[in-house]
Structure 1
C-alpha cells in the first residue's frame, strides 16, 4: 500500500507517567501511582501507529529499566524505534501526575537533565526525512540543551526535503525557569511549522494577546497554514487564513485527560498521511475535508480521555469509526 511509504516522525520526550491511583488528591497526598508510557511526541507517534499509519520517534533514553520499558511499549504499538538513542549520562525522564475530579491533571517532572535532552544535532540524519513525510514536535524539549539544536537540525532537514512540519507547543510552564524565555522559544520555532495546535488555555500565554480572534490571527506567520484550536469538552476548530471549521466533542465520561490532546493530534496527522496530503495540497485538502478530519481527530481524543493512561490504551481505527458511526451527523 502506498501509505506505508509515508511516515510521521515525532521528536522529543518519551517518559514514564506515574499517574495517581486516586482521583481528586494533590501530589503531596497521593500514596500510590500507576506506571504508564508517556511523553507527548511518543503519544502522537503511538496514536498514528495504532490507527494503522507508519510512525517513528526520534529521542534519547537512559540505559535503565524505564528506557527499556518505553522502547518495548512503543515497539509493541508499531512505532519505529530505530531513531531512539540510549545513554548512560542521564536517566529516562519521569512525570508524576495527579488527576483532578474533572479528569484534568497536575504534573511534577523529574529531569535535570533527563536523557531525552542529551540528543544532539549530529545524531539527526538528513536521509530520515522525505517529501511525503510529516515531522511533528512540541515545546517541552526546546529548553536550552543539545535537544533544542537537534530539533533545529531536524526542522532544517525536513524543510529541505519539502515535507509537512507540525508543532504542538503543549505548554508545560513548570519545566521552564523563565516564562519569558519559554514564550520567546515557542515564537522562535512557530514560523517553521505548517500546522500549529494550540489549546484555549495556551493561546494567551503563547501570543500575549487576550482577545481570541486577534490572538489566533497572530499565529499565521512564516509557514503556518493551519491552526488547530482545541477547547476540551467544547470541541475544536480548524482555522486557515480564510476559513474555519468547528466541530463539537463527543459525549463521553472523562476518566483522565492525559494524552487526549496528543490523541487528537495523532488522529489529525493520521488523516493527512492516509490521504497523502503534502505542503502544496494541505490547504485544498482541509478546504474539502476539514469537518470530516476534525471529527476523526475529536473522536480519537475523546476515546483516550475516556480511559486512564495514554499509550497503553490507544484506540484503533475500528474504535474511532464505531464512535463516529454512533454519533453520525
Structure 2
C-alpha cells in the first residue's frame, strides 16, 4: 500500500495509450451537421491525462504510435505544447491513421463520433515498450482502449510486466468504449484481466457493472477488486459522486456542480487531478475531490486538453465555488 502511494508521489508518470485529434464546432451549442467553423485540439484519453498532469505541475511521458503524416505530427506537437515527453511517440507509415473525435459543446442531444478504423496507436509493439526506462518513472497509467486490439494489447500487458519488475504501481482507467472491441465477451475478459493486475483502478458504475456481467453488481465488483488485488478502487457514479475503496475504508465523495457545456473529458481530467493530488501529499479523500473539481472545470469549457485546468485555474475554481455536494 505504501509503495503505491510513494510511487505516485514521485509525480512522474509513464502513460501508455493513444494521442489523436479532436474536432468540435464553434460556437458552443452548434450541431456538427450545422457547423461552419471547427476548432481542433489534442485528443485521446491517454494523451489528455498526460496533458492534464503536466498542466497541474506533474511530469508525464506518452508511449504510443501515431500516423506518419501531418495529423500524427499535429498530435505530437500538441503533446510537446503541454509539456508531455513525446520521445516514445513513434510514427508509423502505411494506411494506419490517428484517431479522430468529432463532438459537440452541448449537453442536450450531444453527438460524439469517433473514427478508429486502422488506428495507428493499435500498432504499438513490444519493442516500443522495451525502449522505455521504467525505473525512471514513479507510476504507469493506461486507459482500457489500448487493450481492444493487438499488437497494442500484448504490448500493454508487456508494459505492465516491465512496470511491475521496476516496482512501479499500475493505474488503470477502465475506459470501456464498445465501438473499439470485437465483442462484449472479449472486452469483459481482457479488461478484467487488466484490472486484476492493477494497483489503482478507476471506472464508472457502468464500466464496473460491465466487468461484473451485471450493472447492479458493479459496486460489489469494485469492492471485491479492492479486497483481492488493488490498493485503490474508485467507483464513479456521475452526479452522485464516487465511492473509493482503500484498505478497510469506503470513502464517499460528492461533486462540484457546474453549468456543463459538454460531457467529454471529465474522466481524463479526474485522473490527472487525483494522481497529482496524491503526489502533492493530499489524503485520498482530498485527492478524489481534487479530481472531481478538475472534471467540473473541464466539462464547463470547450475542448478536452485545452479545457483542463492548470494549477492557478484550479485554485481559483476552488476558491470561488461553494464546495462539493455531500456524499
TM-score, normalising length: structure 1: 0.87
Unaligned runs of 5+ in 2: 1-7
Q: In 1, distance between residues paired with 2:24 and 2:88? A: 27
Alignment partner, residue 62 of structure 1? 67
2:98 and 2:120 in contact (8 A); partners too: yes
Task: Give 1:113's match in structure 2, choosing from 115, 118, 121.
Answer: 118
Q: In 2, distance between residues paired with 1:234 and 1:11? A: 30
Q: In the alignment, is residue 161 of structure 1 matched against residue 179 of structure 2?
A: no
Task: Give 2:224's match in structure 1, choosing from 215, 218, 221.
Answer: 218
Cα offsets for 1:86-132 (capped at 9, x unmatched): 11121212122245534x85443323321111110012126521276
* Match runs of 1:140-159 below 5 Å: 140-159=145-164
Cα offsets for 1:220-278 (capped at 9, x unmatched): 36531111122222322321242122221112110122111100011111123333xxx
Cα offsets for 1:128-175 (capped at 9, x unmatched): 212761101111121231111110111111101111110011111122
Task: Give 1:307's match in structure 2, choosing from 280, 301, 311.
Answer: 301
Alpha-carbon RMSD across the aligned residues, in angstroms, is 2.4
SS at match of 1:253: coil
Alignment partner, residue 281 of structure 1? none
Unaligned runs of 5+ in 1: 276-284
SS at match of 2:171: strand
1:176 offset after TM fit, Å? Answer: 1.6
Alignment partner, residue 286 of structure 2? 292
TM-score, normalising length: structure 2: 0.87
Q: In the alignment, is residue 227 of structure 1 matched against residue 233 of structure 2?
A: yes
Task: Give 1:318's match in structure 2, choosing from 304, 308, 312.
Answer: 312
Cα offsets for 1:65-99 (capped at 9, x unmatched): 11111111111111111110011121212122245
1:23 and 1:100 in contact (8 A); partners too: yes
1:212 offset after TM fit, Å? Answer: 4.6
1:14 and 1:39 in contact (8 A); partners too: yes
Alignment partner, residue 259 of structure 1? 265
SS at match of 1:124: helix
Cα offsets for 1:273-320 (capped at 9, x unmatched): 333xxxxxxxxx8xxx12211121111111111101111232111221
1:186 offset after TM fit, Å? Answer: 0.3
Alignment partner, residue 278 of structure 1? none
Alignment partner, residue 204 of structure 1? 209
* Match runs of 1:126-137 below 5 Å: 128-130=133-135, 133-137=138-142
2:123 and 2:150 in contact (8 A); partners too: yes
1:227 and 1:238 in contact (8 A); partners too: yes
SS at match of 1:202: helix
SS at match of 1:218: helix
Greater Cα offset, 310-319 or 261-270: 310-319
| Aligned length in residues | 312
